[in-house]
Structure 1
Amino acid sequence: MAQLTILALLCVSLAALSLSPSPVTAARFACNATAPRASTCQALISYAPPNSTASMTLAGVRALFQLRSHRALLASNNLPLSTPPTAPAPTPLRIRLPCLCSGGAGATFQRPTYRVRAGDTLDAVARSVFAGLVTYRDIAAANNVSDPSKVAVGQELRIPLPCSCDPVDGVPVVHYTYVVPAGSSVAGIAQEYGATEAAILALNRMPDAKSLLAGQVLDVPLRGCSSAISNTAIDRNLIVPNSSYIFTANNCIVCGCSSTTWQLDCQATTGIGPSFCPVAKCGDAFLGNITTSTAPACETTMCSYAGYTNSTSFAIHANLTTTSVCNAAGVSPAAQPSHSSASGLASTARWRWSELIACLHVLLSLCLWVSAP
């Protein structure tokens, strides 16, 4: 009977293990860009506050990632500018951070950092503070910590979150660092974020869609809107994905990504006077003005943002661009909500449940055998 008890405890332990989230493995996003303009970029990080910080506010998230402005956090998540810092943080929240390519891989630099508190371990910092976006091994390597179990209270750690700046199929994208929720599928993630299954599998070096794991850190490419920004402009590398907006030109211009034309839609930021922000015009037309031709009636001309310069004086540029909407090619970008709704069951989840059922079946059979006369 004692043997049966031990076996039962073993089975229960296996069941608990099979139902617990998979340990997050280290993610290295390929980042082979080496040109001065291409080796750095702005990437997006998906952050879901752990259960212990589920009530975290936008101000708390901003402080954790050392974001420079509340407005930038709102822009990355397509939230109204009237949203106060005390508002609860949506789950997950998109964090825009600088990314640096080095040695064939990309990682965030400058931010975030973390100051060690009493009782902290590197594993706790990785899992409980930064929600599995990074592993304790990554933190130890980035900070030359030889013994991950020994960190000093007050020590400042650099947190190297995985990211990338590489184009995908020759097209610039915004790379989105995404922690896979339980019950997700590659097809569901691709549909939600306007990517393709093939691109996600290739970027993450996955053999097939069945190898997706809950808790896995994925590189998801987000398509950005086309723009008329000049190659000589300071913000020439500006890429804005759908369901977000961004401030540029010293906050004088706000640009969003159109969900129907894939064209960058930029306007002068309200509330900033002309004494600081130069007026952007195309002749008599102000930035963002649109006119529709009469022949053919489907052509529109827009005064489009063309970037800003500051070589001799601060200047905001604009150009007239013409777009035909008669036979628009392609499809509208899929909406990218602030939280994941990827559907489908991961193969790993199905395997764990089948393992639990098999284990219980063996246990029941042994119970019947022992109780038999």
Structure 2
Amino acid sequence: MLHQITVILILITITTTVTSKSTIEPCSTTDTCTSLLGYTLYTDLKVSELASLFQIDPYNLLAINSIDMTSSPDVTSHILPSQLYVKIPVICSCVDGIRKAVNTHYKTRPSDTLSGIADSVYGGLVSSDQIREVNDVEEGGVLDVGMDLKVPLPCTCFNGTDNNLPAVYLSYVVRDVDTLAGIAARYNTTVTDVMTVNSLGNAAIEDGDILAVPLSACASNFPKYASDNGLSVPNGGYAITAGHCVECSCTPGSRLYCQPASLSVSCSSMQCKGSNLMLGNVTVQQSSAGCNVTSCGYGGFVNGTIITTLSSSLQPRCPGPQQVPPLTPPPTVVSPELGFAPAPSPFQLGGAPIGGLPGSVVPSTSSGIAFPPSANGPSGSVSGACTLANPLSTFSLAMALVLFVKVMIPFL
């Protein structure tokens, strides 16, 4: 009898184990956006090798992380150290009604396993089951060397907004040392905002969870026929566009500032018509009425041509020089600032402990995969977002409890 009770208790423990979850954004359009992945290098990799791992432009990889692209003649051959934490820019698409990044492929090597590819190579951004399903790999099947595997990666768009302000979303894999307050502080957002975006009923997060973290950004207003229409750049980083000819950043005041890129490439004219100003140039002239400001701005990349726009305005005071994010040389070692560092607890931040945050918005409780508040973007308020729990686990738990009660009744 004691043996039966022990088995049932073990069953209950197994069925109530919390599994990692990922924020899912339902979608019904063909629109795409640029999204980011938080990734820690599993081994030393050249910039070009890391870019190839995710099938992205190596210069975009350097730009989004504010790494100086002119630091060496062949910066793409620079070796980045293991455990370096970087942001990976990916195209977020709508696939089968859910946002995913689906452009990444992986060619298998000897001794590869699906779990190794998922957990080690891609740092937990994808599960072995997800890779197996999308590639129709049999359970327990051996991977042939040279197999071309699709790797579905998590991403969200939410119309490029957060609380009605421009934002780019980062998919962040939670580590066992993380706190929600620490993650929010690291990315200059709030606990309430992260909870709302991810439909969290409380501040509890688990190792392996994938959170959508909104990063403040500067959005463009290029015409729809421009190839870089919808360009949005998160604070602290750059975006390379116009065939590597133009680099854009987010300056204080959430203003998108674009200038000629530092790469040596052949580019179309970047001079504003009707003036001697080049792209990114600003002239100021103080007068008794204020400050006359004339600037040469970027208007998008259309049919291989860089569109420039000349604008003039009278402002109360003359602006200072553009404050662009500082560039750093390619890292050779992992420092606490560049590598993965445990997100600080609220006590380390000098704030209040989680659970008693004043004015926090607490969405409905979720015990499984959470759907965010709205496919049209988080608004900062609680919505009737639905959540998905694992129905099999729920059923198993109910059956275990019934069996437990039946066994125990004769002894009560």
Q: Any idea what SS the aligned residue of 1:281 has?
A: coil
Question: Counterpart of 1:304?
Answer: 297
Tell me by how many angstroms 1:227 deviates.
3.6
Deviates more, 1:283-292 or 1:165-174: 165-174
1:319-330 matches, within 5 Å, as 319-320=310-311, 322=313
2:68 to 80, 84, 100: 80
Change (3 A) 1:202 1:115: same
Q: How does 1:233-248 map to 2 (within 5 A)?
A: 233-248=226-241
- In the TM superposition, residue 45 of structure 1 has moved relative to its aligned partner by 1.1
- 1:229 equivalent in alignment to 2:230: no
> What are the Cα deviations for residues 195-231 of structure 1, in whole angstroms up to 9, with x where unaligned?
232231122222111x112332111111211445334
Residue 277 of structure 1 and its aligned partner are, at CA, apart by 1.6
- Would you say 1:266 and 2:258 are equivalent positions? yes
**What is the alpha-carbon distance in structure 1 between the residues aligned to residue 192 and residue 88 of structure 2?**
25
How far off its partner does 1:88 sit?
1.9
Between the aligned partners of 1:245 and 1:323, the Cα distance in structure 2 is 29
TM-score, normalised to structure 2, is 0.66
Is 1:110 matched up with 2:98? no
> How is 1:40-79 mapped onto 2 (pairs within 5 angstroms)?
40-50=32-42, 53=43, 55-68=44-57, 70-79=58-67
Q: How many corresponding residue pairs? A: 311
Letter aligned with residue 60 of structure 1: E
SS of the aligned residue for 2:185 comes to helix
In 2, Cα distance between equivalents of 1:63 and 1:179 = 21
1:157 aligned to which of 149, 156, 179: 149
- The structure-2 alpha-carbon separation of the partners of 1:106 and 1:245, relative to structure 1 and needing over 3 Å to count, comes to same
1:256 corresponds to which residue? 249
Asked if the contact 2:250/2:324 (under 8 Å) is kept, the reply is no
**How much does 1:237 deviate?**
0.6
Distance 1:105 1:80 in 2: 35
Tell me how large the CA RMSD over aligned residues is. 3.4
**Cα 1:127/1:324, change in 2 over 3 Å:** farther
CA distance in 2, matches of 1:203, 1:174: 12
In 1, distance between residues paired with 2:37 and 2:172? 7
Alpha-carbon offset, residue 57 of structure 1 = 3.4
CA change 1:49–1:277 in 2 (3 A) is same
Distance 1:78 1:323, change over 3 A: farther
Counterpart code for 2:48: A
Aligned to 2:272: 281
Q: 1:177 aligns with which of 149, 171, 174?
A: 171
Question: In structure 2, what is the Cα distance between the partners aligned to 1:92 and 1:323?
Answer: 44
2:283 paired residue number: 291
Measure, in 2, the Cα distance between the counterparts of 1:223 and 1:282.
33
Q: For residue 24 of structure 1, report the CA deviation from its aligned partner.
A: 7.1
Report what 1:207 is aligned to: 201
Give the 3 Å change call, closer, same or farther, for CA 161–323 of structure 1 in structure 2. Answer: farther
3-state SS of paired residue (1:286)? coil
CA distance in 2, matches of 1:333, 1:187: 28
Q: Secondary structure at the match of 1:119?
A: coil
1:188 and 2:213 equivalent?
no
Q: Secondary structure at the match of 2:299?
A: strand
The match for 2:84 is 91
2:121 is equivalent to residue 133 of structure 1: no
Q: Secondary structure at the match of 2:212?
A: strand
Say whether the 8 Å CA contact 1:181–1:214 is kept in structure 2: yes
Is 243-252 or 293-302 further displaced after alignment?
293-302
Q: 3-state SS of the aligned residue for 1:47?
A: strand
Partner SS, residue 45 of structure 2: coil
Report the CA distance between 1:296 and its aligned residue: 5.3
Deviation at 1:59, TM superposition (A): 3.3
How many Å apart are 1:29 and its aligned residue? 2.6
Shift of 1:287: 1.6
- Which is richer in helix? 1
Partner of 2:395: none
Deviation for aligned residue 1:272: 4.6
Note closer, same or farther for the CA distance 1:238–1:321 as it changes in structure 2 (3 Å cut): farther
Q: TM-score, normalised by structure 1?
A: 0.72
Measured after TM superposition, the shift of residue 255 of structure 1 is: 0.9
1:336-355 mapped onto 2 (5 Å cutoff) = 338-339=338-339, 341=341, 342-344=343-345
1:217 matched to 2:210: yes
- % identical equivalent positions: 29
Q: Which runs of 5+ in 2 are unaligned?
A: 1-16, 327-336, 348-352, 355-412
Q: Work out the CA distance in 1 between the residues paired with 2:26 and 2:324.
A: 25
Aligned counterparts of 1:67 and 1:334: Cα–Cα separation in 2: 22
